[in-house]
Amino acid sequence: MRISVIPTLALLVLVQTATARMLVREVTPDNAARFKWSVKQVRSGDTSTFRFHVPIKGAKLPEGTSATLEVKDGKKLVSRATLQPRPDGDGTVFEFTVSNRYLAHSKFTLTVIDVPHPAGDIYWSRLQAFAKR
């Protein structure tokens, strides 16, 4: 009995592609350490500066990775911006300043896609969750 390796590899590729998926995870103060994230907020008058430190090394994000800030006033979108990374020791920092009046509905999102596969992870955080009162 002969077993052909080529059809087996093709089947394996199909199975891996079919099972690839995106996982969406909310990062909160309670679980940030599990993802090796640290989040700091500095309040100054009517604004807050947030510093999200994530465990991605290097000055350039891996292909398929992006970070965005979405600022909302209730359901109304005020601003959406792609954030630039800054290398910082054992990871990458995303830093931005937001008016305190928009913290309740605004969020930071880090999308990590496993290129070329249609799989990856989306991490997001409500700014209000990390805001000091």
Find the CATH number of the domain harbouring 28: 2.60.40
Domain membership flag for residue 33: yes
Instruction: Using the predicted structure, report yes or no on whether residue 87 has a pLDDT greater than 70.
Output: yes
Is the pLDDT higher at 82 or at 116?
A: 82
Which neighbouring-strand residues pair with 123? 25, 110
Domain membership flag for residue 60: yes
The confidence band for 46, taking pLDDT boundaries of 50, 70 and 90, is: very high
Domain membership flag for residue 9: no
Count of the separate structural domains present in the chain: 1
Domain membership flag for residue 6: no
Q: What is the pLDDT of residue 96?
A: 97
**What residues have CB less than 8 Å from 83, skipping those under 6 apart?**
67, 68, 69, 94, 96, 108
Note the Cα 113 to chain centre separation in Å: 10
Token reading at 71: 């600022």
Q: What is the pLDDT of residue 133?
A: 61
Note the Cα 76 to chain centre separation in Å: 22
Percent of the chain at pLDDT exceeding 70: 79
**What residues have CB less than 8 Å from 17, skipping those under 6 apart?**
117, 118
Would you say 34 and 87 are in contact if contact means Cβ atoms under 8 Å apart? no
pTM above 0.85, yes or no: no
- What average pLDDT score do residues 69-80 get? 97
Query: Cα–Cα distance between 7 and 12 in angstroms, integer?
Result: 9
- Residue 76 sits in which domain range? 21-130
Token reading at 80: 């959406």
Q: What is the pLDDT of residues 23-35, one digit of tens each?
A: 899 999 999 999 8
Instruction: Using the predicted structure, report yes or no on whether residue 14 has a pLDDT greater than 80.
Output: no
Return the H-helix or E-strand segment holding 121. Answer: strand 119-126
Domain membership flag for residue 5: no
Domain membership flag for residue 15: no
Note the Cα 8 to chain centre separation in Å: 35
